[in-house]
Structure formats: C-alpha cells, structure tokens
Structure 1
Amino acid sequence: MRRLGCLILLAAAIIAVLVAGNYLYGWNASGPLENQRTIVIKSGSSLAMASQVMESEGVIKSADAFLTRAKILGGSEPIKAGEFKIPAGASNALILDILQGGKAVLRLLTIPEGTPSIIVHEKLMAEELLKGAFPVPAEGSVLPDSYSFERGEQRAAVLQRMQKAMRDTIAELWPKRSSSTVVKTPEEAVILAAIVEKETALARERRTVAGVYSNRIRKNMMLQADPTIIYPITRGKPLGRRIRQSEIAQVNDYNTYAMVGLPKGPIANPGRASIEAVLNPADTKALYFVADGKGGHMFSNTLEEHNRNVAKWFALRRERGEM
C-alpha cells in the first residue's frame, strides 16, 4: 500500500509538472497569427472581454486558455483601451504585455500653417476613424501642427488639444515679446500673425513681412493685404481666380484695402513661427513688398521703388503667359 501510495504521488507530481509545463509553453509559445493585425479594445473592457475579441480576431487560439494563463502567469496591471498592433506569431505573454503597456497605435492628423478653421473642421470631419460632430472652431484658435489620435476618439477631443496648444503657445510667447512689436494684445498678435502666414511661406521672410506691416501700422497706413480681401468671400479657402476690383473696394471688417488697422479677427490659424515674427518683427524700413517670381518677395522702402518692383513682376508674368 505504501508503495502504491508513492506511485500515486509520483504520478500526480508528473501530471502537475506536465500541466505546469503545458501552461508555461502555451503562455510563451508562438501564437496563431500569420500576419500582423490591429485589434481594438474598447474603453471599459475587462480582460475577459478583450480575450473574446482576440479569439474572434484569430489573435489567440482560446479566450478561456488565455484568460486562465494570464491570471496565473501574467502581471497584475490592468489592460489599456485603444488600438493595438499585434505582431505575427505573438505569444500570449507578449500580447498581454502589449495590452498592459498601453502601447496603442497613434495616428496623426496634420494641420498646415495658415489653414482656416473651416478647413480644420472639414479635415476632422473627414477622418473616418474619429467620431462625433462639432461646430467650426473660432478662427485663429487652433495651432497648426501634427496631432496624434486614437481610433474611435471624439473629434471634439482632438480639437480641444489643438486649441489648448494655441493657448499654451500664446501664453509662452507673449511675455517674450519685443518692445518693437505693434500688437497690444495676444488677440492682435494672432490677427497679424495670420496675415503674415498667408503672405509668405518662407521662414526667412516672416520677420521682414511682419516688420513691413508693423511699419504700416505705426504710420497709420492701410495694410493692403490681399488675403484679407479673400477671407470674407471664402472664409479662407482658395479663391480660385483673380481678385476683382469690386472686391478690392468692398468695405467690411476684414478688407485692409478699405480700412486702416487690423481686421476684426484672424483670417486663418497661424503657426508658431508667424506668431513669433509678429512679436519680434525685423528692424526694417520697408513699407512694401511684391512677389519676385521665385517663391519669395522683393521689399522696398519707397513707393517709387515698389512700383519698379511691381513692373518687374508684371513683366515676368507676361513672359510666363499669365497676363
């Protein structure tokens, strides 16, 4: 009997070792995925719910087996919600590590400098991985940049990050403004920066363009910025044609050909560099600028010099067949 008892104990021990070995092997062995796959774990999901999702997606062989092994062999950290990339052949152990580590897939939505708010709204609404509706944001309230988001996130939440980035940027830059700036408030800084943003795409010109407009404001001259004519017509979208004389003469709160001073609000969402340029404009005597035909501008201190530059620009356009 004693010998029989020892044999039973030995058999039980062997079985226990085999079971434990099976659990360890099943936990660390390669999984069934043949190719990388993205899975979505919804907010509030338990490990059991996530296991069912992964079984249905073919990421693991058995939800029950995964759950049991995870409780015995896995860490105690909770899993994260989000979108996760699971590599081909991922073991149960690796999968749990990915879910607990919160290494969710991040996607980027880019808002270029000078984008008007109506297009910011369109870009967010066109992103199919986001959800929810929201009104067109206030012009100038969004900082152009690349923003990460997760599948299923609310569009309004992404917009809030964009607007917070603008508020934080203004809060950082405003105390650093130069005594040479002509803007009296952060709001005026955004208004003028939006004009600078729309007038030049060249980094080397931003402070000079800001200097030109600063000089005009000091001399109580009209800014005469073409983009301010277009904004009331298209809300900042491309006009798609030449500006008409009747539009140049149109009196409204934005057209700087028919008013002295700044428009009543921004005509786009300016980037950080343009805001910095307005707060620290170049020390220049220039009052005018016109395109040079090479993507930049010719600057001049006097109207006579400016008229000569305009004549050069028109001659170049005629050579190109644009006039």
Structure 2
Amino acid sequence: MWRHIVSNFLSILIVVLIAAFGMVSWAKREYVSEGPLANAICYRVERGANLRGVSADLSKAGAISSAYLFRAGADYTGKASQLKFGSYLIEPGASMEQIIGKLTDGGPSTCGAELNLRIGVRANDAVLRELDPQTASFVEVAKWRPAEEDTPSVVAEAEQKGDLRLRVTIAEGVTSWQVVEGLKAIDYLDGSVAAVPPEGSLAPDSYQISRGMARQAVLDEMGKRQAAILEELWAGREDGLPYASPEEALIMASIIEKETGVPTERKQVASVFINRLRQGMKLQTDPTVIYGVTNGEGVLDRGLRQSELRRETPYNTYVIDGLPPTPIANPGRASIEAALHPDETQYIFFVADGSGGHAFATTLEEHNRNVAKWREIEAQQNSQ
C-alpha cells in the first residue's frame, strides 16, 4: 500500500514539475518574443516611478501582454529597481525584454522634445522639435531668433516636464569668433572662454549639451572632433597635392567652404585653386580678402572696395602668392575631403552662374564670356 502511495506521489510530482517547467519556458518565451504593440509610442518614466506603475501603464497602452510577467522578468534580470527618468520611443513589436532594457539602460531620452541652438554664418536661431513616434522623425514646434525674439512659451512647458534635450549646432563656414560669441549667448551654458580658438580648428557639427555645462568644455569637444577629422582625412589624401602640411589643407578647405554652398561643386572648386597653385597663379578669391577686413568678426554686409582689393594684407590673395596664413572659417568634413580629393580638371576660373552654382572655365576667353553672362543676370535681378 505505501509503495502504491509513494508511486502515485512521485507520478504527481513529476507531472507538477513538468507543468512548472513548461510554465517557466512559456513565460521566458513570452518575455523575449515580439510584443503586441502595433504602433510606436513615446513612454515617459516619471521621476520616482516604480515598476508596478510602469508595468500597469505599459499594459494599458498595449505595449506588453502581461504586467506580471513584465515585473517578474525585470526582477529576475536584476532591473526592477533601475528605472531611469526620461521619455523613450518604444517601437512596434518590442519585446518586454527590449522595453525594460530601454527604460533602465540610461543614456539620453529617445523621445520627447529637443531644443537645438544653432550658430550660423549670418544669424543664430533656435528650434524646438518633438519626436513623432509614428514616423520616428522630429516635428518642428517653434523656431525663433533669440537675439531678436522672446523665447516661446512652449519651451518653458517642455522644460517643466524635466527631460528637454539640448543641442548646439555649428554651421559649416562659421568663424571661431562667431562660435565663441554664439556660445556666450546661450544661457544654458556656464563659464567663460579662455581665448578664441584658432581659426579652422572647430568641427561644424551638432553637439549634445546639458544645463550648466562649461562653454570651454563645448569648445574643447569641437576642437577634438576637428583634429580627429583632419588627421583621418590627411592620412588618406591624394598623392601630389601642393600642401606642405595638414594645416595648409585646412586653409584650402576653409576657402572652398566659403566659395560654394553647392555640395557637388566642392571638388571642382578645389581643383581650380589647386591648379592655380601648381601654375604659380594667385588664388584671387574674395572670401580671403573679406576675412582680412573683418578678422572673422561678423559678416561684411557690403561689396569689397577697390582699395581693399588692392591693399596688401596677409589675406589678400589678389596681392599675395599662395595660401593665406590661416584658415578663414571652420570648414566641414566635406570641404576638407574636397581639398584632399579634388576633381582632376583643367579649370583655373569660375564665376557665379545665376543658379546658385558656378560656371567653370579653362581659358580666360571662356571665363570672360561666363562673366558677361553673369553681369547680364545681375542686371536683370537688380532691375526687378
């Protein structure tokens, strides 16, 4: 009899263990498999939020199939108490494992609002954007010029939520003085700047910042990025270029940056100036003369005077031979690439063509015809 009871007990125990194992296996599969979310959502973890409340919210939003399994999985992986404040983009079909990872791994928020403070060649502006979870792209909410307009109220509303992301974006072709002045005007930053960095030494790019961050720290990061870009591209440069150093290539890149705003023209413009250097011709480029007049401190809102074109300065390439002594702006990566990988052409002249680009020429006769066409276009534009 006892043997029969023990046998039945063992049978039941085995069935229970098999069932338990099956339940555990199912729960594990459910935790790591594709979730029920059909459309992307932005989910915000509030400060001090607990896992029970978060799991209930996610279940209500249709992002997880079981609040209990979500909590159990988070507890089993040691993430139950590691929720990070912020707004996060949860993609369609995200598993419970992926969602808890996103909410606990930290790092910048992937959803919500972003304030981009942009330092440009002619003006600075600010743009507030919010991420549309359905398209995973940012939608512009407000745009204004801080020096001329009051900050829109929507910025304060975004700040009150506590997770507004901040960025500083530097346009290609700005001078180092413009960058420093732009950073000084950003109230979110702190501290003074030791000195205006050397011209050309800052990388035009977008930089994430935080409230109270030191202005000098932002400048240091810009300098590190530009140095890394120049080192990388210099190592892979074309053979036979007329540069004695990476610094000379940076000078050329800054001239290219200021001469054309058409990306596809950069390498053609580079070929013109390189051909002139090889032939011992003067570069004769207005942007260098302008830099000699302004010292990079602001924009020259008028045409160059004949006296300025004749005056001998280190930057007047109508008078001096070769390159000016320093860059005339901070060139972007594409202009540095153009300086180090120019097109192979015979061009030694170019002039505006009225479309925003340039007409290139190999002879003075051809160039004069292009200039005449441009003068006609100018006259038509001025008469309208």
TM-score, L = length of structure 1 = 0.70
Instruction: Point out where structure 2 has 5 or more consecutive residues left out of the alignment.
Output: 1-48, 55-77, 89-98, 110-162
1:133–1:98 Cα change, 3 Å: farther
Change (3 A) 1:102 1:276: closer
Q: 1:304 aligns with which of 365, 369, 374?
A: 365
Q: Which amino acid aligns with 1:126?
A: A
- Of structures 1 and 2, the one with the larger relative CO (CA 8 A, separation 6+) is 1
Matched, 1:140 2:167: no
Amino acid at match of 1:228: T
Q: Is the CA contact (8 Å cut-off) linking 2:202 and 2:226 kept in structure 1?
A: yes
AA matched with 1:204? T
Higher percent of residues as helix = 1
1:215-230, aligned counterparts within 5 Å?
Answer: 215-230=275-290
Equivalent residues of 2:277, 2:283 under 8 A apart: yes
Q: Does 1:287 align with 2:292?
A: no
> RMSD of the alignment, in Å?
3.1
AA in 1 matched with 2:258: K
Match status 1:164 vs 2:258: no
Equivalents in 2 of 1:276, 1:297: separation in Å? 20
Distance 1:138 1:302 in 2: 37
**Correspondence for 1:173 among 233, 236, 239:** 233
Q: CA deviation at 1:181?
A: 2.2
SS in 1 for 2:220: helix
1:162-311 equivalent positions in 2, closer than 5 A: 162-236=222-296, 237-311=298-372
Q: 1:254 Cα deviation (Å)?
A: 0.9
Matched AA of 1:254: Y
* Correspondence for 1:28: 52
SS in 2 for 1:253: coil
Q: Which moved more, 1:214-223 or 1:175-184?
A: 175-184
Give 1:235 shift: 2.5
- Number of the residue aligned with 2:106: 101
Deviation at 1:124, TM superposition (A): 1.1
For residues 74 and 273 of structure 1, do their structure 2 counterparts lie closer, same or farther at Cα, with a shift above 3 Å needed?
closer
Partner of 2:171: 112
Identity fraction in percent? 47
Give the alignment of 1:55-94 within 5 angstroms: none
Contact 1:290 1:299 in 2 (8 A): yes
Q: Identify the residue that residue 183 of structure 2 maps to in structure 1.
A: 124
* Unmatched tracts of structure 1, length 5 or more: 1-24, 31-72, 87-93
What is the TM-score with the length of structure 2 in the denominator?
A: 0.60
C-alpha distance 179-75 of structure 1, shift in aligned 2 (>3 A): same
Higher strand share: 2
CA separation of 1:297 and 1:148: change in aligned 2, threshold 3 A: same
